[in-house]
Structures are given as C-alpha cells and as structure tokens.
C-alpha cells in the first residue's frame, strides 16, 4: 500500500477550502488538479495561508479533528496596538458567545512577518495603527481567531495560517502547493 500523500497549499484570499467555486469565491480546482486528495480542515475564504490536503482518511481526521489538539499557528494583522493585558487574555482563554476558549499562545510579532501583498489590500484607517500578533490555538471553532482578537479589542484585518502541527508555509508562494 502506498504511503499517504500530504499536500501543503498556500491558500490565497478569496479561495474556498473546497474544490468547487461558489458565487464570487474561487475553488481549489483553480490551483490543484490532483484527483483523490481532500481538504484536512478548513480556512475561510477571507483568510489566507496553509491548507493541508491528503488522500488518507485517517490522516485527514487526525489533522482536522480538534480532539487530537494539533496546534495551528496564525499570523494576525489587527487594528490597534496589542498590550500585555490583551495578550494575557488571549493566552488564558477568551469568553466568546459559545463559551471560553482554551488557553492559547499569543505574542506580538515585531518586526511584522515578511508576507506577500494581499489582493485586495486590507482596509486601513489613517488614525488607527495596525500590528501583527502570532496566535497558536488547539481548537477550531468557527472564525475563532477573528472572534478572539475582537473580544480583546483588536479587530482582525488580515489572517494568515502559518502552520498546522509540524507543517508550515515555508517556501510556498500564494496559490502554490508542494507534496
């Protein structure tokens, strides 16, 4: 039996975590033409970064299922300036409408990560600074990172998943894949 295939894909903004496009959103078929691979986990169309695909159902479940607590690392550009209180709140768990989040790892990224320009660009307000934080979580609620940063007064402007467990974006331009 051949080894499981694992594909790392740098999902651009505006692409769904499915092969079929819907409405204004593109699908993965515009970037990946590999029969028999399936998405392991999700990343919203308005988020960017690492998406894993595999042809192995057990591996797919292990990556996607929060019971396995595989850490996911995000680089988040936020509106405002994160202070120690906001970072401590993210680290200890944030109360959301669906309950308290698990503790996370959070730190300010200074200097900001060296990332590609986003198309379309984020909205920026001249009077409000932006900053980047790294947030690592081990659960996967709907739009969780965006809701967590908003709960501590730092609305998300841009969200890039940088890693899932040991797998990273390293060497992948937006829209490219390896595996």
Domain 6-64 has what CATH class? alpha beta
Q: List the beta bridge partners of residue 108.
A: 133
Distance of CA 72 to the CA centre of its chain: 7
Q: How confident is the model at residue 94 (pLDDT cuts 50, 70, 90)?
A: very high
Is domain 69-164 in CATH 3.90.1200.10, yes or no? no
Domains of the chain: which residue ranges? Answer: 6-64, 69-164
Q: How many CB atoms lie within 10 A of CB 125?
A: 9
**DSSP-derived pairing of the beta strands 156-164 and 48-54:** parallel
Query: pTM of whole model > 0.85?
Result: yes
pLDDT of residue 159: 98
pLDDT of residue 1: 62
Q: From the candidates 30, 33, 44, 46, which is the catalytic residue?
A: 44
4-53 confidence digits (pLDDT tens): 899 999 999 999 999 999 999 999 999 999 989 999 989 999 999 999 99
Cα(75)–Cα(128) distance, integer angstroms: 19
Average pLDDT, the chain: 94
Alpha-helical (H) ranges within 103-171 are 144-151
pLDDT of residue 25: 95
Fold equal for 6-64 and 69-164: yes
pLDDT of residue 68: 79
114 catalytic, yes or no?
no
């Amino acid at each position: 039996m051949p080894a499981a295939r694992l594909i790392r894909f740098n999902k651009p903004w505006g692409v769904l975590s499915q092969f079929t496009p819907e409405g204004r959103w593109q699908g993965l078929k515009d970037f990946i033409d590999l029969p028999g691979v399936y998405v392991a986990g999700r990343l919203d169309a308005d988020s960017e970064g690492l998406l894993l695909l595999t042809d192995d159902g057990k591996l797919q479940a292990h990556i996607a299922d929060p019971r396995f607590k595989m850490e996911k690392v995000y680089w988040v550009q936020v509106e405002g300036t994160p202070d120690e209180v906001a970072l401590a709140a993210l680290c200890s768990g944030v109360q959301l409408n669906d309950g308290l989040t698990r503790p996370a790892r959070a730190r300010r990224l200074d200097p900001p990560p060296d990332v590609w320009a986003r198309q379309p660009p984020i909205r920026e307000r001249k009077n409000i600074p932006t900053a980047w934080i790294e947030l690592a979580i081990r659960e996967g609620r709907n739009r969780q990172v965006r809701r967590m940063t908003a709960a501590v007064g730092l609305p998300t402007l841009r969200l890039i998943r940088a890693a899932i467990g040991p797998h990273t974006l390293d060497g992948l331009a937006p829209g490219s894949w390896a595996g």
